[in-house]
Structure 1
């Protein structure tokens, strides 16, 4: 039996991994795969140590993340999935992206989770302004 689409959000609220896992967990779930993208203290685009960042999004970002989730769900009809991307100010260690996918079997869940995360990163119009320890900042994802 095909699983449902959980939720797909762009939000300024802190992300909760357990909420994502609960949203995709069903009695038929033999595998639950999660992806957690968190703010790190370095980046190839930064000259120094990253201390935090601000994510901003196009007004259509919520619609687009929903379309991506629906598309991935259509390509992997035996999964249940959800995904959220945070916007606003995040400190090092904060969660920026959480995806969860469940299926009866792990290979299907892994494949769908990878497709979901890669599409969100490539297609959702979200940009980040990185702050460095010396006070410098860099915009990433504007092109």
Structure 2
């Protein structure tokens, strides 16, 4: 079993993250991962870049709690979360969430759970630089509603 968390400024390589996720694992019949990126439009605002801040120590503890909760709900073999902070440009990768399980339903559900709770529980603050100026990104009602189903 391999469970890991990284909060970092540097970019990540999806191929490397996938390789780490499945390294030495012959039991997983399912691998599911999600990669989030900075998009160029948000709430009808032209996004030029994004700045992500976090609370070191607290962030990692909360991510670990979310990962532990997913592992207690589904039969996971491995799970990795990589979340970037700092200054990001449009098209840059923000987050990698990957899970493996013997069965696809466990992998899909756990990955969705992890993303829903990352979006609503993890202490990350996002500020977008838009053509209209800087805007702090507020909590999205859709994300809150999604997390309630769990």
**TM-score range relative to shorter protein:** 0.7 to 0.9
CA deviation string 1:99-138 (max 9, x = no partner): 011112211110111011111111110011101135x110
- Normalized per residue, the structure richer in helix is 2
In the superposition, the TM-score normalised over structure 2's length comes to 0.83
- Cα 1:30–1:142, aligned 2, differ >3 Å: closer, same or farther? closer
The list of structure 1 runs, each at least 4 consecutive aligned residues, that deviate by more than 3 angstroms after superposition, is none
| Rounded Cα–Cα distance in structure 2 between residues aligned with 1:77 and 1:30 | 12
Pairwise CA RMSD:
1.8
Aligned residues: 137
- Cα 1:57–1:142, aligned 2, differ >3 Å: closer, same or farther? farther
User: Does residue 1:128 correspond to 2:138, yes or no?
Assistant: no
User: Does residue 1:101 correspond to 2:99, yes or no?
Assistant: yes
Name which of 36, 51, 55 aligns with 1:54: 51
- Structure 2: stretches of 5+ with no match in the other structure: 141-150
In the TM superposition, what is the alpha-carbon distance from 1:90 to its structure 2 partner? Answer: 0.5
Equivalent position of 2:12 in the other structure: 15
Equivalent position of 2:34 in the other structure: 35
Equivalent position of 1:67 in the other structure: 65
- Structure 1: stretches of 5+ with no match in the other structure: none
Q: Is the 8 A contact 1:9 1:66 kept in 2?
A: no
